C-alpha cells in the first residue's frame, strides 16, 4: 500500500486507508459518481450487492469478481468458492470461471501445479469450468494472489437481489460463522488454543466449508426475497449491508446466531470480535415473515444448519433486541489482527 500523510492530518484526501474493503460510505460515493448504466444492466454496482446482472437474449447473465489476498493457502480453490458464492446468492448457478493468477518470484513450478489442482477440485465441487484468465510471476506480490471472476446464466431471467427484503421479512442464517475467518487466522497467526479447536479451525475451509452455493440456490427455489453472502466485516457487516440495500431496519436476536465453536475459540485467543470476522460460509436469506418458520423447518429437514436471527421493520440501521446498535466493522477483524501480529 502506498503510504501518504499520517492519520489525523488535516487533508482527508491524503490520509492512508486501512487494509481491507473500502469504507462503505466512500465506496457508495464512488459508485454513485459514474454515468447512468446501459439499459441491459438490471443490477449494477452498489454497496451490499454481491454480483451484477445483465439482460442477454437467452436470459440474465450474472457475474462476480473477488480477489483472495489475506492468505497464501489454497488461494485457487478459495477464489473459486468465494466467487461462486457471489453468483449463487442471486439465485443463479455458477458455471464459468476466469482467474488472474499472480505468483511471487519465490514461486516454483510445483507451487503453480498445486494451485491449479486445487482450483480444478473446487470447480468440480461447484459445477463450474475454468474458461480463461491470466498467469504471471511478478515482484508486485509477496504471496500468491488470485483474482477470480465467476459467471452464471439463468434462462428465465429471474434473480434475487440483496435489496429485495421487505419490512415484515425475517432473516435466516444458514451455516455457521465465522468459518473463513477462523481458517485464515488459524493458518496465519500465532496463538494458543486447545489442539482440537485449532485443528478444526485450520481445516474449516473444508469442514464445515465456505461454499453456500447449495444453500443459496435452495433458498432461491423456496422464494427468498433477498440473499446475501457476508464476507469482510463479518456477520455484522453482512446484516448492515442487507438492511441498507433494502432500505429497512433489522432487529437481531443475538442468542439465535449460529456460531462456529472453533472460530469463537480462535477469536477469543486473538482478541477479535467474531461479529466482525470474515464470514464466508454463512448465508443470509430473507423470507416473508409469515412463511419463515415453514422455510426454517424445510431447511432443517434437509440438513442445513439454520436459524431465524433477525426481523425486518420500518426504519434503518441494525440493532440488538435491547435497542443498542450492532457495531459495524468497516475493517475486518482478520485484517486488524494480522496487521498487529
- Residue 10 clears pLDDT 70, i.e. is over it: no
Type and span of the H or E element at 75: helix 75-88
Count of C-beta atoms within a 10 Å radius of residue 124: 11
User: Is 60 exceeded by the pLDDT of residue 43?
Assistant: yes
Instruction: Please say if the pLDDT value at position 174 is more than 80.
Output: yes
**236, 284 contact by CB (below 8 A):** no
Q: What is the pLDDT of residue 12?
A: 56
What's the rounded mean pLDDT across residues 196-211? 92
Does 296 have pLDDT greater than 50? yes
CATH number of 162-340: 3.90.650.10
- Tell me the CATH number for domain 39-154: 3.30.1330.10
What's the pLDDT at 194?
Answer: 86
The whole-model pTM stands at 0.87
Residues of the chain with CATH 3.90.650.10: 162-340
CA-based nearest residue to 337, from 269, 282, 283: 269
Q: Give me the phi and psi of 274, to 5 degrees please.
A: -60, -25
Give the model's confidence band at 16: pLDDT under 50 very low, under 70 low, under 90 confident, else very high: confident
Cell numbers at 292, concatenated: 419463515
The reported pLDDT for the residue numbered 114 is 95
C-beta neighbour count of 202 within 10 angstroms: 18
Task: Tell me the CA distances in angstroms from 169 to 63, 156, 226, 289, 297, one per residue in order.
Answer: 27, 25, 10, 5, 16
Does the pLDDT value for residue 56 go beyond 60?
A: yes
**Tell me, what's the pLDDT at 267?**
94
DSSP state of 10: S
pLDDT at 13 over 70: no
Collapsed DSSP state (helix, strand, coil) of residue 128: coil
The ranges of the chain annotated as CATH 3.30.1330.10 are 39-154
How confident is the model over 212-221, as pLDDT tens digits?
999 999 999 9
Region at 173 (left for phi over 0; alpha for psi -120 to 50; beta for the rest): beta
- Mean pLDDT for the stretch of residues 176-202: 88
Q: Which residue has the higher pLDDT, 19 or 264?
A: 264
Please list, in sequence order, all residues whose beta carbon lies within 8 angstroms of the beta carbon of residue 157, skipping any fewer than 6 positions away. Answer: 55, 59, 60
Residue 58 has a pLDDT of 92
Side-by-side strand order, sheet with 52-56: 41-43, 52-56, 59-68, 145-154, 94-103, 129-137
Amino acid at each position: 500500500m502506498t503510504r501518504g500523510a499520517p492519520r489525523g492530518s488535516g487533508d482527508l484526501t491524503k490520509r492512508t486507508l486501512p487494509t481491507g474493503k473500502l469504507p462503505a460510505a466512500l465506496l457508495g460515493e464512488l459508485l454513485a459518481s459514474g454515468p447512468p448504466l446501459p439499459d441491459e444492466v438490471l443490477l449494477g454496482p452498489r454497496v451490499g450487492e454481491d454480483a451484477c446482472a445483465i439482460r442477454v437474449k437467452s436470459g440474465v447473465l450474472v457475474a462476480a469478481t473477488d480477489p483472495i489476498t489475506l492468505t497464501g493457502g489454497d488461494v485457487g480453490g478459495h477464489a473459486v468458492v468465494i466467487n461462486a458464492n457471489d453468483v449463487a446468492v442471486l439465485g443463479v448457478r455458477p458455471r464459468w470461471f476466469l482467474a488472474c493468477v499472480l505468483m511471487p518470484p519465490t514461486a516454483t513450478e510445483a507451487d503453480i501445479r498445486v494451485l491449479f489442482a486445487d482450483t480444478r477440485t473446487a470447480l468440480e465441487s461447484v459445477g463450474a469450468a475454468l474458461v480463461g484468465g491470466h498467469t504471471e510471476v511478478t515482484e508486485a506480490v509477496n504471496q500468491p494472489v488470485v483474482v477470480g471472476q465467476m459467471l452464471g446464466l439463468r434462462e428465465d431471467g429471474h434473480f434475487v437481489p440483496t435489496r429485495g427484503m421487505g419490512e415484515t421479512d425475517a432473516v435466516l442464517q444458514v451455516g455457521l460463522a465465522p468459518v473463513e475467518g477462523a481458517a485464515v487466522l488459524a493458518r496465519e497467526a500465532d496463538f494458543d488454543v486447545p489442539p482440537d479447536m485449532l485443528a478444526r479451525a485450520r481445516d474449516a475451509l473444508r469442514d464445515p466449508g465456505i461454499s453456500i452455493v447449495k444453500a443459496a440456490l435452495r433458498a432461491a427455489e423456496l422464494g427468498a426475497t433477498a440473499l446475501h453472502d457476508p464476507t469482510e466485516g463479518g456477520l455484522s457487516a453482512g446484516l448492515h449491508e442487507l438492511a441498507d440495500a433494502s432500505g429497512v431496519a433489522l432487529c437481531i436476536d443475538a442468542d439465535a446466531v449460529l456460531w462456529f465453536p472453533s472460530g469463537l475459540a480462535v477469536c477469543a485467543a486473538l482478541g477479535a470480535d467474531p461479529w466482525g470476522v470474515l464470514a464466508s460460509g454463512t448465508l443470509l436469506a430473507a423470507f416473508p415473515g409469515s412463511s419463515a418458520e415453514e422455510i426454517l423447518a424445510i431447511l432443517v429437514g434437509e440438513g442445513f444448519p439454520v436459524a431465524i436471527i433477525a426481523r425486518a421493520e420500518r426504519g434503518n440501521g441494525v440493532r440488538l433486541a435491547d435497542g443498542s446498535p450492532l457495531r459495524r466493522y468497516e475493517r475486518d477483524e482478520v485484517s486488524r489482527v494480522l496487521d498487529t501480529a
